[in-house]
Amino acid sequence: MMSKGPLSTEMRPTEAGSVGRARAFAIRAHGARIRKYSEQPYVVHLDSVVRILQSFGIEAPSVLAAAYLHDTVEDTEASIADIFTAFGEEIAELVYWLIDAEQGRRKIRKMMSAWRLGRAPFDAKLIKLADFIDNTEDICRHDRHFAPVYLREKVKILAMMARFEGQRLAICPFSSRRAA
């Protein structure tokens, strides 16, 4: 977990409240956006990522709030400054590590993404793992041609995460027990 230093009360009035506020913020920011394959409202993906985390016993409000916000900066008009102002430093930092802002050819972008995620805080990695699970199920179900490419890219990212986390990643909830 990230450090538990106190945050200003005007940034985060209550821990539990931050999760609901993050969900509402994400819904407003994503607007009418829908999932590529399922044509469901985008919040369905965000709810799934949070449910996956919870199914593995991850309940930290900062992690769940960041999970709701993980695609907000890269996919909407919201900025990391907006996240910081609304939710404080701890949540904004987790979101920052999850932003795919790399540019260039796909192969180079994915390599840079692996470097970034390998060095990300453990809580950010947990969110990314839940995101991978939900996206992988969706892509494998709906796009059999792209799925092998997607899976190869994710294997490289997971390898980089494991390189930096070692045994800690191997024994994290996603690896050590099945979801409830």
Task: Check the CA dihedral 178-158-165-170 and report its sign.
Answer: positive
Instruction: Assign domain 15-176 to its CATH superfamily.
Output: Hypothetical protein af1432 (1.10.3210.10)
Euclidean distance between CA atoms 61 and 56, whole angstroms: 14
- The answer, as to whether pTM is greater than 0.95, is no
CA 56, 86, 127 angle in degrees (round to 5)? 20
Q: By the 8 A CB rule, do 173 and 58 touch? A: yes
Per-residue confidence band for 175, with pLDDT thresholds at 50, 70 and 90: low
Which are the catalytic amino acids?
74-75
Mean pLDDT of 51-61: 95
Token digits for 119? 């060095």
Euclidean distance between CA atoms 165 and 143, whole angstroms: 31
Q: By the 8 A CB rule, do 78 and 138 touch? A: no
Euclidean distance between CA atoms 155 and 152, whole angstroms: 5
Domain ranges across the chain: 15-176
* Residue-wise pLDDT tens digits, 43-53: 999 999 999 99
Comparing C-alpha atoms, which of 114, 123, 108 is closest to residue 70? 123
Amino acid (one-letter) located at 131: D
What per-residue confidence (pLDDT) applies to 16? Answer: 55
Helix (H, G, I), strand (E, B) or coil at 34: strand
